[in-house]
Amino acid sequence: MKTKLLLVLTLILLTACSETPTQAPEKTNVSKTIVDTQLNALKAATKNVEAITVQIKKTEKVATEVSLPSGANLYSQKCSSCHGKDAKKSALNTSQAIAGWESSKTQQALNGYKNGSYGKKMKNIMQGQIVPLSDNDIKLISDYISIL
């Protein structure tokens, strides 16, 4: 994106600087007017580039924020298909509804599933869901479940 921005700026500068009068100016005032016009065009182009740069930075920030994992996103990807969108569903009619569990309780359960020390019938299914998650992912999911 920055390469495209530099290319656009270069083209604008070349265009602004390449505009020359068709006839040689007879007076100094005419030359000064042409230089002033080109300087004004250059200043305007610089302002446009600055505005585009600000917009690019805002867009990059939003893209970064969207790509970061959140408890809601992780829950939606890993948990909601069995536990329901609001975590009030008994997964496969076997588990407890987990909505509102304290974050620490959920973290203990998820870490237990991950290391194999927790769970009964759902142990194998849950391990497949939890093993790829980092400690931070588990905390994000647990914190999210606690507010449901």
From 147, 131, 3, 144, select the one nearest 74 (Cα to Cα).
Answer: 144
The pLDDT tens digits of the residues spanning 58-77 come to: 777 666 555 557 889 999 99
Q: How confident is the model at residue 86 (pLDDT cuts 50, 70, 90)?
A: very high
pTM of the model: 0.55
Q: Is the pLDDT of residue 46 over 90?
A: no
DSSP 70-124: -HHHHHHHHTHHHH-TTS-SPGGGTSPP-TT--HHHHHHHHHHHHHTSS-STTHH
Q: Mean of the pLDDT values across residues 125-142?
A: 92
Rounded CA separation 9/7 (Å): 5
Average pLDDT estimate for 29-50: 81
Alpha carbon distances (Å) from 138 to 7, 105, 143: 44, 11, 9
Distance from the first to the final alpha carbon of the chain: 40
CA geometry: angle at 132 spanning 129 and 135, to 5°? 105
